[in-house]
Amino acid sequence: MSLSKFFEPKSIAVIGASHEPEKIGYVILENLKVSFEGKIYPINPSFPEIQGLKAYPSVLDIEEAVELAIIVVPAKIVKDVVDECVKKKIKNIIVISSGFGETGDNKIEDEIKEIIKGKARLIGPNCIGIYKSGLDMMFLPRKRLKRPSDGVISFISQSGTLGIASLDLVAHKGLGISKFVSYGNALDVNETDLIEYLSKDLETRCIAAYIESIKDGKRFMEIAKKTSKIKPIVILKAGRTEKGMEASKSHTGALAGSSQIYSAVFKQAGIIEARTTGELFIFAKALANQPALRSNRIGIITNGGGFGILAADSIVENGLMVAEFDKETEKILKKGLPNYCSVGNPVDIAGDADVDRFEKGLKAIFEDKNVDGVLCSILFQTPKIEDLIIPVLEGCKAYGKPLVVCSPGGEYSLERIRKLERLGIPVYSAPERAVKALRALREYGEIIGKK
């Protein structure tokens, strides 16, 4: 059964919809109302109307067909409610409620599995469900959690809280998201199903995942291998250590395996492994938006000398190379830049650089045949960097080589950084992070080179 109706339903029943603002069933309904354009059916046996919408005692009381059910009732009645959904021929069910396998008791989960077998697909339980533009079922208040704009990364997370906090963080920095799925205990729909679905989703250019366990290793390998040749997959695996594994058992009921085994499997499947929450999106936003690195020679340009040095250090330490410029490039740079600029690699165009200096420098470096990719460090704090730098950086796409930007700063910088992110130019707050992104682009270059 395809998962597409989870993401494109025409009608949704919210089972456990509430009129009490502090209830999850209230916030979900509220957020669906402002985001979803299809038909919404609140289900609650005690009220004829909820938040201005006609309510129903049960899904069985709805006359029309329903494509998606979101369940937020207490764990002990979830089984009965799922049963009603199946009777109503709802084929897509999301169970937000917790209190299942993560408590150590798998009995109800097993019973629910039997009920839906061959009749419906189920995401959850113990999850946040789905977020995409036009479908916001997150039970987190919009005031507290900024929703990301539309983007080309899809993000699946076994942990709900890790998922939503990451969404909030990346949204703040201007990164867009295509689809977010928090899938919790993975009673039915698991990481492999979601990766398979997203591999065919035209809006998704990179799949980022936080996982605690893998349900079916063989199928996972098969799907991941196929997918990674079409689009990059980045995975952060939690429970790498014995202590982490113990913790994950009580979190999503997952049985995590040894770190070495996972790393080996990921490598074989063409998956890029993130070792920290930071790396997950450092990698994903570069991979989603920039071409892979064909080889490892990096050109550096900066209006802050210290950043050039740190970038050079980090490039070497990450197994990449500080490119040796062609003689012609240094000549062009010498001609085009003031004499106090440094025309070797890194090119230091000095703190008084303007956009013109960046444009000339970037052109010379990108056109150098000894350069495979470019790290551009921009300090928006310096007075001469006008916003025209944004289209200049966008124009670099034409060179067909990857570009990553390093730009640390506060609100003024962030406003510009958000614009760049929206244009698909990945921006990092530190040179070492920009270099990590390049390393991932090289890794993906090797993965697709092998096919």
Site for its own copies in 9-68 (CB under 8 A): 22, 27
Q: How far is the CB of 62 from its own copies (least distance, A)?
A: 29
Which residues, 6+ apart, have CB-to-CB distance to 214 below 8 Å?
A: 190, 191, 192, 220, 257, 262, 265
Q: How far is the CB of 212 from its own copies (least distance, A)?
A: 7
263 binding its own copies? (CB under 8 A): no
310 binding its own copies? (CB under 8 A): yes
Which residue among 107, 146, 200, 331 contacts its own copies (CB under 8 A)? 146
Q: What residues are paired with 293 via a beta bridge? A: none
Q: What backbone phi and psi angles, to 5 degrees, belong to 151?
A: -150, -165
379 binding its own copies? (CB under 8 A): yes
316 binding its own copies? (CB under 8 A): yes
Residues in the chain: 451
273 binding its own copies? (CB under 8 A): no
Nearer to its own copies, 414 or 447 (CB): 414
Q: How many residues bind its own copies (CB under 8 A)?
A: 85
Name the amino acid, one letter, at 416. Answer: R
How would you classify the pairing of strands 68-71 and 121-123? unpaired
Nearer to its own copies, 152 or 167 (CB): 167
Site for its own copies in 338-377 (CB under 8 A): 340, 342, 344, 346, 348, 350-351
Which residue among 106, 277, 295, 370 contacts its own copies (CB under 8 A)? 277
CA 180 to chain centre: 7
Joined together, the tokens standing for residue 405 give 């930007």
73 binding its own copies? (CB under 8 A): no
Which residue among 382, 394, 399, 424 contacts its own copies (CB under 8 A)? 382
Q: How far apart are CA 161 and CA 167, in angstroms?
A: 10
If phi over 0 gives left and psi between -120 and 50 gives alpha, with beta otherwise, what is residue 76?
alpha
Which residue among 74, 141, 217, 319 contacts its own copies (CB under 8 A)? 141
Site for its own copies in 108-137 (CB under 8 A): none
DSSP one-letter string for 389-408: HHHHHHHGGGG-S-EEEE--
Q: Tell me if 123 sits within 8 A of 95, measured CB to CB.
A: yes
Which residue, among 361, 330, 363, has the nearest Cα to 344 in the 3D structure?
A: 330
DSSP one-letter string for 128-180: -EEEETTEE---S-TTTSPPP-B-SEEEEESSHHHHHHHHHHHHHTT--BS-E
How many helical (H) and strand (E) elements, i.e. helices and strands, does the chain have?
Answer: 16, 20
Q: How far is the CB of 27 from its own copies (least distance, A)?
A: 7
Nearer to its own copies, 241 or 268 (CB): 241
242 binding its own copies? (CB under 8 A): yes
Q: How far is the CB of 284 from its own copies (least distance, A)?
A: 15
Nearer to its own copies, 41 or 210 (CB): 210
160 binding its own copies? (CB under 8 A): yes
247 binding its own copies? (CB under 8 A): yes
313 binding its own copies? (CB under 8 A): yes
Q: How far apart are CA 176 and CA 424, in angstroms?
A: 9
Nearer to its own copies, 56 or 358 (CB): 358
Q: How far apart are CA 400 and CA 395, in angstroms?
A: 10
Q: What's the DSSP call for residue 291? A: P
Joined together, the tokens standing for residue 258 give 């040894």
CA geometry: angle at 254 spanning 231 and 271, to 5°? Answer: 20
Nearer to its own copies, 269 or 417 (CB): 417
Name the amino acid, one letter, at 407. Answer: S
CA 103 to chain centre: 28
Q: How far is the CB of 367 from its own copies (least distance, A)?
A: 22
Q: How far is the CB of 60 from its own copies (least distance, A)?
A: 30
162 binding its own copies? (CB under 8 A): yes
240 binding its own copies? (CB under 8 A): yes
Q: Is 320 helix (H, G, I), strand (E, B) or coil?
A: coil
Q: How far is the CB of 56 from its own copies (least distance, A)?
A: 26
Site for its own copies in 164-223 (CB under 8 A): 164-166, 168-169, 171-172, 210, 212
Which residue among 49, 317, 386, 387 contacts its own copies (CB under 8 A)? 317
309 binding its own copies? (CB under 8 A): yes
Nearer to its own copies, 8 or 317 (CB): 317
Which residue among 248, 289, 290, 296 contacts its own copies (CB under 8 A)? 248
First-to-last alpha carbon distance for the chain, in angstroms, is 29
Site for its own copies in 399-438 (CB under 8 A): 408-414, 429-433
Q: Tell me if 323 sits within 8 A of 299, measured CB to CB.
A: yes
Q: How far apart are CA 202 and CA 437, in angstroms?
A: 23
Which residue among 197, 220, 266, 380 contacts its own copies (CB under 8 A)? 380
Q: Is 341 helix (H, G, I), strand (E, B) or coil?
A: coil
